[in-house]
């Protein structure tokens, strides 16, 4: 078995993470050769030079639904973020702004990393995503900005992550 390059080394231009492990398979990852260029008719992302990206200009290409749009259509998340606690109520708008900002930043570089939906109740927000990287990013951003407790759980052998962020105290500075 070939060794994987050490993370951060320049042995490979590809960044290694859980999604590249051979035992972790994403059922929405497209198999086989994708025609280039291919255009997702739903979101407008284009597959070119081996990856999905946002087009710089309008081009004619073969139409093909990207894996993020397929997950959105099927409502089949690869990641779930649960934000909870008494702190959430009075700071809900601020937290949701942070969540949307994280999505916009991630999505600008990685079109397949998106929020599927956001479900809200009094002391709980559940965010479903199309990938395993955005949930961790959202959880870490909440922890940096608002403290609280963060737990990240990857499903063994599957392309799925659950991120839980919780903060009881409604007062900034306390947990």
Instruction: Enumerate domains of the chain plus CATH numbers.
Output: 18-73 (no CATH), 76-166 (3.30.70)
101: closest CA among 61, 65, 137, 152? 137
Judge contact between 130 and 72, C-beta under 8 A.
yes
DSSP state for residue 36 in the 8-state scheme: S
Along the 175 residues of the chain, how does pLDDT read in single tens digits? 344 444 444 443 444 455 555 556 677 776 677 888 899 999 999 998 888 999 887 778 889 999 999 999 999 999 999 999 999 989 999 999 999 999 999 999 999 999 999 999 888 999 999 999 999 999 999 999 999 999 999 988 888 999 999 999 755 554 5
75: three-class secondary structure by DSSP: coil
């Amino acid at each position: 078995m070939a060794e994987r390059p050490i993370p951060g080394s320049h042995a490979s231009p590809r960044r290694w993470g859980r999604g590249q492990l051979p035992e972790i398979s994403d059922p929405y990852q497209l198999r086989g050769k994708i025609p280039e260029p291919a255009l997702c008719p739903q979101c407008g992302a284009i597959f070119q030079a081996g990856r999905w990206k946002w087009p710089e200009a309008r081009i004619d290409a073969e139409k093909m639904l990207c894996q993020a749009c397929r997950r959105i259509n099927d409502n089949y998340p690869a990641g779930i973020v649960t934000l909870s606690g008494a702190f959430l109520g009075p700071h809900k708008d601020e937290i949701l702004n942070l969540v949307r900002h994280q999505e916009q930043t991630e999505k600008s570089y990685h079109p397949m990393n998106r929020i599927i939906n956001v479900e809200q109740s009094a002391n709980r927000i559940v965010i479903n995503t199309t990938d395993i990287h955005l949930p961790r990013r959202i959880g870490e951003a909440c922890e940096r900005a608002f403290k609280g407790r963060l737990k990240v759980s990857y499903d063994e052998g599957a392309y799925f992550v659950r991120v839980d962020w919780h903060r009881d105290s409604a007062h900034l500075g306390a947990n």
